[in-house]
Every structure is written in C-alpha cells, then in structure tokens.
Amino acid sequence: MSTKPDHPTIEDEHFVTLNRHIPNEEDYALAERHAPLIRFDVNEPFFPLAAGYTVFREEGKSPSFPRQITLIEGATAAIEYAVWWDWDMGHLYELEHIWVYVNDADEVVAVDASWHGGWNPMRAEEGKAPLRGGRAIVYSEPGKHAFAATLAPLLDRKEENVANCGSGAGKGGVLVTDLFKGLIHSRNRENNRVVHAYLQRRSFEPSYTFSDLFDLRQAALVPWDALKTWIPSRVEWWCRVLDAAIPFGQRPVLAIAHRGASAYAQEGSPEAIRKAAELGSDMVEVDVRFTVDNVPVIAHDSDLQRVFGVPGNISEMTLEAVKAATPEGKAPVLTFAELVKLCREVRIGLYLDIKAINAEGMVTMTESLREYGMFNYAIFGSFRPDWVAEIKANIPDAQTSVLFSSVHVEPVSLALAVGADYVHPCWERFDTPQDYLTPEWLAAVRAQDLGIVCWHEERPSVIAALKALGVDGICSDMPDLLVD
C-alpha cells in the first residue's frame, strides 16, 4: 500500500475538521466492507483523502453525480463512493465516483466508475466485474484520476495525459463544478495563480506502471452529506495556505504571444498561433475588427496595406472580399470562429484587443467562445474604456482588461469605473518600464484584486524584472522569451 507524503493519514489542521460522525452504522459497515481498491501509477503524487458514501437499497438519484442509480439484476444494494482528492494535476480539486453493487449474499456482482464527466460499467477482459479478493479494483488515470477496468483506455489517452501532467499542470486553477456553484467562492485570478504555481512544482511524467495499490479504507470514509459540507471550506483553506506560501514573484506569469508568435510568422496567422503554442505560450493576443457584413475577423490594422500589400478597408469589405484579396504567399485573414477553433485545437487561450465593437458582433464572438469551451480562457481588452464597460455590462461573466499608455493614468479608478478585471499599462516605449510599477502602484492595484498585464516586451532584462514583480501576464512578439 502507498506510503507517499500525501498519504491521507498525515492529517493537517483543516483535515481534522471533517465530520466523522456515522449516523447509520449498518450503511457505514457495508461501505467499509466493500470499499474498492485502486491501482495508481508508481509516479502518482496524489491519493484520495476522503470518500463520501451513499447506500441505495432502491432506485434513486445520485446526490453527487448526474445519474440515476438503478439496482441491476441480482443486486440488493448499490454503494456510491464519491472519492475526493485535494488535487487533480490540472486543478484544485478532484471528485470521482465508483459504484459497487452487492447481492443478498454480500457479494459484489457489478461495478461502475466515472470517466471524464461520464461513467462506464467496469468489466475486465473476461467480461466480469474487476475484483480482487471479492472487492472491486480499478485503475486510476495518472494525475487525472478517471477510472477504468483495464489499462487499455488509459493508454489510448496517454499522449494527452502526459501533457496534462507536465506542461498543463495547474492551468485549470480552482475548479468549480455545477455541483458546487454557489458553494465554492474561491475561484478568482490570484487563487488560480497560486494553484497553478503549486501544481507546476508537482508536475510529473507518468510511467504507466500501475504497481501502487491504494485501499480506499485508508481514506476518511464518511456519509456524502458530511463530505459535501466540508469541501468548500477545504478549497478555501488550501487557497489561503498557498497565497501565504507563494510570493507574487514565484507565481506563474501568462506568456501571451503578441499577434501570435509574430516575430516568427505572419501576425495573426494560423502559423503564428501554432508557433505560439509550440513555444509554450499560454495565450495569443489578437486584434478583432468587423467586416461590412458583420463578421468578426482577426486584424490589427483597419486596412490590408501593411500586412498584405493590397488596398481595402476591412470595415467596408465583405468577408468574401477580404479573403479574396489575400495575395499569394500570405495566409488569409482568420475569422474569429476559425481562430477560436484553432486555439481550442492547440490548447491556447485568447487575449482579445477589441479594435471595433457592435452588439451583434459581440454576441457572435461570445457564442463562438462558449461553443468551443474557450470562454473561460479568453480576456476581452481595449484601449477604449467605454467599450470595456459595454462588454462587461452585456457579458457580465467575461474577463476584461483596460489598456492605457500614459503613466499618469490612475489605474484603480479607471478599472473600477468600467468593471475591468485587469489593468494593462502599455509602457514598452520606456527603457525600464518596470520602474513605473512601484510598490505603491502594485499594492493599490492588488488591493482591489486587479490583475496586471504588460506589453509588448522583447528585452530579457525587462521581462525578468516584470516577472520578479509578479505581474499576471506579459505579451511578446517572441513568446519563447517569456517561457521558463
């Protein structure tokens, strides 16, 4: 059995607040008797801390998972185990499920388990429930902890999961699922940063050797209601601990590729986006305009002259005309929808510099982001404070950034006036822009829970200084300079 440092028998000051009272001894005894065994990768850093059990003796709705529990033929009871980890390699926290069905002889007759938001019957190669010594036994995906009866499904996802456990570690920040909406209030920018920092330090390469066997009896086994009540305070506690332990200068800084990796490819082109992802960027900064037929497209300039060497103002041209004007050797202007699809494909966020705005176009953009699951990985920014205010008023859950060039702007008042989440000083024209980010300036901005983004910067000494100050993000034409 596992004896690694994160073993749940090592109790911390908050873990002991979990209510261990057992209101029904019969249900507890049943759940304890049939608690599953879990196979873990030998390099796995995180093990279950607790499991909330629910016993079904008739059909009913799961209190912790979106499914109806039906007693299969031959079963007289079903035991649902909601298995809690403090950590998934992508985020704080993890909750996976195993269902064990038993008959009137107290024998396990079937097993189900959760798998990336869904669930599957657990069947070993011979088609029977996977058992060892009469108890359910399942594989846990390295770092992500989804369950499988055999190794094959885990190997099918190996390439993606190795990335999740390495470069992708911590990028999800604080997780808030539908189950805990309105209960967990700890998801914010700074908590996401400290979670990201912590999990980056715990990143690992899975071996896909599952010789580490964990008995769920080693975790705290409590009724589901007790675990659910405790979880929000657990998440909040972890955020407080990490915020106190990780200085701003040690927190991850978003590497934002300015118009993609524009030093290496045509700005705003698919090649520049892919290159940015290849170089390890977290986001791409792109400029958004609208064609005369109201299609959002990716272009910094109002016309096609500088980038494409052809005449034409984008706002006076249809999308078809803009695409047709592309000269040989150039990549056509991307539509916003094409960009979002590509960013989803290469797993990179979007920092949107809004160069024009209209209500219909913003609806189109928001729909594209939500369709591809990218809305939470996008920031809407503009030099026009009134446009930032419009975006926030019409899309309240959008992350927004207000850009400004003058060192005489009072950033807090400006941001609060328009509901911005980030302030974005554009001071790259100065020899040492970091000097304007004084301790007083930083303290005032952070006191209002505002993030700080700077651009665009290609000077290694300035980049190092900005990172040491703990800004949230830096834009660069050469994003490889930003990646540690």
The 10s digit of each residue's pLDDT in 324-361 is 999 999 999 999 999 999 999 999 999 999 999 988 88
Domain end position, chosen among 208, 224, 247: 247
pLDDT band at 10 (very low <50, low <70, confident <90, very high): low
Contact 164/109 with Cβ under 8 angstroms?
no
- 187 CB-side CA count, 13 A: 17
Q: What is the mean pLDDT of residues 285-305?
A: 97
Sequence-distant (6+) residues with CB within 8 A of 39 are 137, 138, 139, 140, 210, 211, 212, 213, 214
User: For the segment 180-208, what is each residue's pLDDT rounded down to a tens digit?
Assistant: 999 999 999 999 999 999 999 999 999 99
166 in any annotated domain: yes
Q: Cα 134 to chain center, whole Å?
A: 38
Percentages helix, strand, coil for the chain (3-state, rounded to 5) are 35, 25, 45
**Unique residue bearing structure tokens 């949230």:** 472
pLDDT band at 475 (very low <50, low <70, confident <90, very high): very high
Per-residue pLDDT at 163 exceeds 70: yes
pTM of the model: 0.88
The verdict on 405 and 453 lying in the same domain is yes
CA atoms of 337 and 350, how far apart (whole Å): 12
Specify the pLDDT at position 167: 87
25 in any annotated domain: yes
The verdict on 464 and 416 lying in the same domain is yes
The verdict on 318 and 224 lying in the same domain is no
- The boundaries of the domain holding residue 341 are 253-481
The verdict on 278 and 223 lying in the same domain is no
| 339 class by beta-carbon count within 10 Å (0-12 exposed, 13-18 middle, 19+ buried) | buried
CA atoms of 108 and 115, how far apart (whole Å): 21
b/e for 39-48, b at 16 or more Cβ within 10 A? Answer: bbbeebbbbb
Q: What is the mean pLDDT of residues 73-91?
A: 97
CA atoms of 24 and 333, how far apart (whole Å): 65
Contact 252/73 with Cβ under 8 angstroms?
no
The verdict on 117 and 154 lying in the same domain is yes
CA atoms of 22 and 19, how far apart (whole Å): 9
The verdict on 205 and 332 lying in the same domain is no
Contact 52/226 with Cβ under 8 angstroms?
yes
The verdict on 317 and 338 lying in the same domain is yes
Contact 391/361 with Cβ under 8 angstroms?
no
Domain end position, chosen among 247, 277, 306: 247
The verdict on 271 and 243 lying in the same domain is no
**Unique residue bearing structure tokens 């290609």:** 458
Give the other-Cβ count within 10 Å of 474's Cβ. 23
Please count the residues of the chain. 484
CA atoms of 41 and 38, how far apart (whole Å): 10
Residue 176: both structure tokens together: 């808030």
Per-residue pLDDT at 212 exceeds 70: yes
The CATH number of the domain where 425 resides is what? Answer: 3.20.20.190
The verdict on 345 and 465 lying in the same domain is yes
The verdict on 225 and 277 lying in the same domain is no
The verdict on 212 and 292 lying in the same domain is no
Per-residue pLDDT at 122 exceeds 90: yes
Long-range (24+ apart) CB contacts under 8 A made by 121-128 are 122/147, 122/148, 122/149, 123/149, 124/149, 124/150, 125/150
Per-residue pLDDT at 4 exceeds 70: no
Domain end position, chosen among 227, 247, 267: 247
Residue 361: both structure tokens together: 């176009």
Q: What percent of the chain has pLDDT over 70?
A: 98
1 in any annotated domain: no
Per-residue pLDDT at 247 exceeds 50: yes
Per-residue pLDDT at 160 exceeds 80: yes
| Angle, helices 385-394/359-371, rounded to nearest 10 degrees | 60
Domains in the chain, number: 2
User: For the segment 436-465, what is each residue's pLDDT rounded down to a tens digit?
Assistant: 999 999 999 999 999 999 989 999 999 999
Looking at the DSSP assignment, which residues form a beta bridge with residue 467?
A: none
382 in any annotated domain: yes
Q: Cα 131 to chain center, whole Å?
A: 34
Least confident of 60-74, 93-107, 116-130: 116-130
CA atoms of 157 and 90, how far apart (whole Å): 15
User: Which candidate, 17, 173, 171, places its Cα nearest to that of 93?
Assistant: 173
Cα–Cα distance list, 335 to 44, 262, 271, 318, 358 (Å): 42, 18, 15, 12, 16
The verdict on 191 and 263 lying in the same domain is no
417 in any annotated domain: yes
5 in any annotated domain: no
CA atoms of 100 and 109, how far apart (whole Å): 8
User: For the segment 385-443, what is each residue's pLDDT rounded down to a tens digit?
Assistant: 999 999 999 999 999 999 999 999 999 999 999 999 999 999 999 999 999 999 999 99
Specify the pLDDT at position 1: 39
427 in any annotated domain: yes
How high is the mean pLDDT of the chain? Answer: 95
Q: β-strand 173-174 against 91-92: which pairing, if any?
A: parallel
297 in any annotated domain: yes
Contact 174/193 with Cβ under 8 angstroms?
no
CA atoms of 188 and 451, how far apart (whole Å): 10
